[in-house]
Structure 1
Amino acid sequence: MLKIAKKITGVALVKADEPPVPVPAPTLAPAPPAPVLPDENPLFVRVENRPDEALNAVIEKVTLGTQVGKKKIYVAVSFLEIKGRLNGQAIAIERPIEIFLPAGQTDEDGQWIVATMRSLSLAARGGYLTRALQDLRQVPWTKGPVRCGEKDWGNGKVVPIQHPSEVAAIAYAIQRILCNRGFLDADGNQVPLEVLARHHARQASDETRSDPEQELVAANPSTPSIEAVLEKPVAAGKNTCPQCGGSNIRRIDGCDTCTECGHSKCA
């Protein structure tokens, strides 16, 4: 009995007086190409619920100057690593995920403070916190401007920044936290995804943390630096402040008031 030790790949019939006919090798089907995963921007990945794990957080004391004096409040922002894909490569960034401000620290009703912070947290988990903060910066109230933060015009003049309400001032304070963390630029705009990914990769590898603003300029040379913007002279005009040159002129209590330095024609 003939024992076949190998797998049969073909069969051919030959006569006893004919030379053997070579059996053609089997044709293997080409391997299917590896699936290409679509890009996923981690800035817009939706986080349905607050993670149960411990989160990195920043708690900052913020000073507000109102018509009745100064007050100090505390704002907490939590961050979470969000993964995605860019140009086919896996990346990760750090994104704000939750914002908390204990009630009872401002003149506003506690329920509205809680509601606003919950809405901001939903915006953070939904990927549109940057826009939400920019909208809150425009919220007015009837109790006069609120001072929070300072602006250095680069000519030796440092003036307090005026906001149209406590809510707007708190939104500015949150923007400053995100700016110091490297998530937003100095004007409250979103830092490009590539810069965020590189910045987070360096943090993860325990390398020296770099200045995200300098990376932003390096990634887009046509973007002026914050220093260049501050040093650029502002021409005085009808809608510019004669004291600091700012263009944010608002009519408050019947008087044209600069929200940058607080200068008022009625003062």
Structure 2
Amino acid sequence: MAIKIEKKIKGYNVVKPEDKTPSAAASAPVKEVAPVAEVIQMHESLERPETLVGNTYKIKSPLFEHALYVTINDIVLNAGTPHEMRRPFELFINSKNMDHFQWIVALTRILSAVFRKGGDVTFIVEELKAVFDPRGGYFKAGGVYMPSIVAEIGAVIEQHMKSIGLIHDPEMDEATKRLIAEKRAAYEKAAAPKAAAPVTAAVAEAVSDSHTNAAGFPAGATLCAKCNTQALVLMDGCQTCLNCGYSKCG
């Protein structure tokens, strides 16, 4: 494109292409952008596949007339490779009881959103297990205390995360197992009534059942603060748990 110069040229400057960029940017009007919250993506963004694998767990609580069924679906990452792993992707809770429908729907949506967000989602377990019912908790089968129905949902999520390898529960060593077995045997021997005459096997079994609770531990055992099981007994002047080995004396 030719440009006709009408005036006499008195001087000149060489303008390079990179020199034109700042001037063009400076001349463009700057639009004010409203401040927004910074969203940190903790994991890669994944779309829901057509098919997911999962497990359904039944919760039967004395607080509810009908059972709760908790379904946790997982997404399989790096399928077919040595790095294959399952991660929780969504959660559903179903029950015939409609009295608590609102908070159940809210809980499922929030938990599913946290699962899909990614990152370390194991913190959910402790948060849910720390929820206490003002009316009091209850003991489930096996003598394990649950402070609320929400806490038992957290226990179910913990059980599922352990099954897929997301939470690793340290196993008790053999020395601790032997120590617990010895303490339990010593406690039962000291607490057993001394009969003057020999008794039959049926009578011995009945006496043994009368001195144990639902969890199979001594009837006088109290709740352990560590494993929430009625297995805490007084031995040698110290409270000792016959289930997990916890002791207040260290």
TM-score (norm 1): 0.46
Per residue, is there more helix in 1 or in 2? 2
- Return the structure number with greater relative CO, CA threshold 8 A, min gap 6: 1
Larger Rg: 2
Per residue, is there more strand in 1 or in 2? 1
